[in-house]
A and B are shown apart, each in its own frame.
Chain A
């Protein structure tokens, strides 16, 4: 389960269960429910699963997978 992909919020409309956003996925645009992200705003990236945005991408964490690797490699190289 859980094919969720990141897309950029282009616009927001409506409220509550009818809160929707136009979300862009590399040039493909889809109307997505934002009912579970009441604070998501235009310009943010959200993870979308089955037409529902379930979380906002924390862009500050986007590079952590590369940082972890660099630190781990550095650790391995330094003498004990």
Chain B
């Protein structure tokens, strides 16, 4: 596949590994923010190409992991309502709430459908005027344009049977919360390239200046991640704290102004609760007044206090990069993909699931 396969070249990856080994003289802790980057790192074994002193911490860039239990419960409740077609990205189907997940809602008779794009849910609403179509709008800024155009299109078409259950979150406030937390060990960031393709670099320049951390805009293929690592480690070795963008093939400095305009037209910034972290002000998106009619929580009168997470689940600590999944006492015993305690084990992107699925043969045999 063009503009994809080239960035998985084994020989070039090995050369990057050698370059990095030459650059690193001290231990460093670097966080890759995005769950998709975590997935790529574990799948291709990129962390094994880094020198022993470099610790990669997996950040909160997985909307599945950070969506609070209360919102999952609302999703499940809506999905079980007769007359509702509940649409979602595949990622969300196995995330446990307190009363089961969307799979169990389907087993109980709910019409739950996996869609590829939010606009597919709009098409379903057009095709089934007698049903209420609800789309579970999760995601970071990368997904916001897709979610926004679905609402804008539904409004344009005059649809009354379409709504969004909004769980949109923003990356910079989460990164800030991590850098600000006592005990933070993250010294450099591999920033999420596709989020920044939408938002542009500016929020990360602010973060870098405020917290004096080097931030490198990083892509998702092995070579992109290795280049990001090479650059952030060089900055750390040289004592610099700047924003660099090697992922220029996809990321413009100003992001995508049309996408940002669309997001601003449809959404407004709101506080959001993050699973395991708690509420962060101005960290999410909600439907603005002009489009409130498409808000499922308002439409269906859903409200209520947040439910409690399983006490044993260390999602919060893992998501902040304070704990490695393998350090969690429940990992691999009480908590596995078959019976997950929390979202990071459920989501294919979640740190814990990633560690489980891509675990090392040597480590396994020794266990």
Contacts and interface: CB of A to CB of B under 8 A. Distances in A.
Given A36-B258, A69-B227, A50 B116 contact: yes
A54 B34 contact: no
A34 B257 CA distance: 13
B35 interface: yes
Interface residues of chain A: helix, strand, loop or mixed (majority): mixed
A45 B249 CA distance: 10
A55 B230 CA distance: 25
Question: Interface size class for chain B?
Answer: 35 or more
Interface string A19-59: 00000011000100101111000000101011110110111
The list of the 4 closest CB pairs from A to B, nearest first, reads: A51-B117, A2-B194, A52-B146, A6-B3
A8 B2 CA distance: 9
B224 interface: yes
Interface of B: 1-4, 6-7, 12, 15-16, 19, 22, 34-36, 61-63, 89, 116-120, 139-140, 142-143, 145-146, 149, 152-153, 156, 192-195, 197-198, 220, 223-224, 227, 230, 246, 248-252, 256, 258-259, 262, 349
A6 B143 CA distance: 16
Contact of A57 (B3, B62, B143, B145): B3
B143 A33 contact: no
22 contacts: A1-B194, A2-B34, A2-B61, A2-B140, A4-B197, A8-B2, A17-B149, A33-B119, A33-B149, A51-B116, A51-B117, A52-B145, A52-B149, A54-B142, A54-B194, A54-B259, A55-B252, A55-B256, A58-B249, A62-B249, A69-B16, A73-B15
